[in-house]
Amino acid sequence: MAHQVNGVVALAKGAPVGLVPILVPDPGPGEALIRVKACGVCHTDLHYREGAINDNFPFLLGHEASGTIESVGDGVANVAPGDFVIIAWRAPCGACRSCLRGAPWYCFASRNASQPMTLADGTPLSPALGIGAFAELTLVDAAQAVKVSPQASPEAAGLVGCGIMAGFGAAMNTGNVSRGDSVAVFGCGGVGNAAIAGARLAGAHTIIGVDLDDRKLTWAKEFGATHTINATSIDPVEEIRRLTGGHGVDVAIEAVGNPLTYEQAFYARDHAGTVVLVGVPSPNMKIELPLLEIFGRGGSLKSSWYGDCLPSRDFPMLIDLHLQGRLDLQRFVSETIGIGDVEEAFHKMERGEVLRSVVVF
Ligand SMILES: NC(=O)c1ccc[n+]([C@@H]2O[C@H](COP(=O)([O-])OP(=O)(O)OC[C@H]3O[C@@H](n4cnc5c(N)ncnc54)[C@H](O)[C@@H]3O)[C@@H](O)[C@H]2O)c1
Ligand SMILES: [Zn+2]
Ligand SMILES: [Zn+2]
């Protein structure tokens, strides 16, 4: 049986999103039906509706969610009805060349539900990042459902499902930020501020937040930035060098998805340092860098997909850190909104008014 619920669907490139009736099937073998409790509005949802990810419209948006298991299909052992879960957009297959090599965070065949969710007329939906959680119910592969402590609030827990994990992991996993390191984070939205929080927990000594918006920089300080730079009035590369004895930072994290900030991150790092790109660029973006600089500066230029996380390992850890009072997830929640308010939340995000608007059900 399919359940009819309302979902936030992007029907065409650039068109405002709206609530549309959708059909969500009961779970088949290996699948889980989730009653969504909360789902954050991430910049990647906006990338989808702008056609910047791919052209597989219509998209069922929402991918930063927590909920409870409504029902499971045959053969599901990791979750049971009633469990409180965070939905992951990475569920390693265990069999691809990357999983077999022992690096499942690069899995090339991550699992998703096999049955499609559809519009009322049967048109298959493309769920954002294989999730689609701006809806009361969503269908995923059971391995995408990661059980965590139900003591965390649904809206705080949901954010771990994308932006927080991506930013935190960009610092801790990809950038391997360690005790005493200096770190710069370009773009202090939800992802960038999570990178700042991760760098602080990892023991970084100097943490520099860069943004164009003073509100974001005030929040960056609350998450652990020791210094902030508003790049509208100050050259961030020169200022970062000044703040680090003329050297640049050990780890420079780009959390915007823009060639300009990538170039700044590239030149703001110390010799043999690491650049981490966690911001998602649009397909038309290009960058030109002197090859000699890439060679001469050594170190590494890395990309961070989902903070190189393993959801089953990392989600419960982040929730535990939160419940211990060491990672304030609630502070990322700028406002809670209704499922009909996602388009307006995109505009608030574009105007820089929020870290995260979170749809609650
Ligand atoms: N790699 C991943 O797995 C992953 C996961 C989630 C999100 N993302 C991406 O991370 C990026 C950030 O996401 P978000 O949700 O935090 O977005 P956001 O809109 O909340 O934050 C972006 C921030 O960048 C700032 N900014 C824009 N231009 C800038 C510039 N020239 N210099 C300095 N700061 C600038 C904005 O003021 C804003 O504060 C997006 O590209 C998103 O798609 C990546
Ligand atoms: Zn795999
Ligand atoms: Zn996201």
Domains within the chain, CATH numbers bracketed:
2-161+328-360 (3.90.180.10), 167-304 (3.40.50.720)
CB–CB of 206/219 below 8 Å? no
Token pair for 248: 């640049």
Ligand 2 centroid distance, CA of 111 (Å): 8
**pTM of the full predicted structure?**
0.96
Residues in the chain: 361
Give the nearest ligand 1 atom to 304 CA: 1
Give the nearest ligand 1 atom to 43 CA: 15
Q: CA-to-CA distance for 208 and 80, rounded, in angstroms? A: 43
Give the nearest ligand 1 atom to 350 CA: 19
Q: Which ligand is nearest to the CA of 280?
A: 1
Q: Tens of pLDDT along the chain (361 residues)? A: 899 999 999 999 999 999 999 999 999 999 999 999 999 999 999 999 999 899 999 999 999 999 999 999 999 999 999 999 999 999 999 999 999 999 999 999 999 999 999 999 999 999 999 999 999 999 999 999 999 999 999 999 999 999 999 999 999 999 999 999 999 999 999 999 999 999 999 999 999 999 999 999 999 999 999 999 999 999 999 999 999 999 999 999 999 999 999 999 999 999 999 999 999 998 899 999 999 999 999 999 999 999 999 999 999 999 999 999 999 999 999 999 999 999 999 999 999 999 999 999 9
Tell me, using a 6 A CB cutoff, whether residue 256 lines ligand 1.
Answer: yes
Tell me, using a 6 A CB cutoff, whether residue 257 lines ligand 1.
Answer: yes
Q: State the pLDDT at residue 1.
A: 81
Q: If 0-12 CB within 10 Å is exposed, 13-18 middle and 19+ buried, where does residue 157 land?
A: buried
Q: Which ligand is nearest to the CA of 303?
A: 1
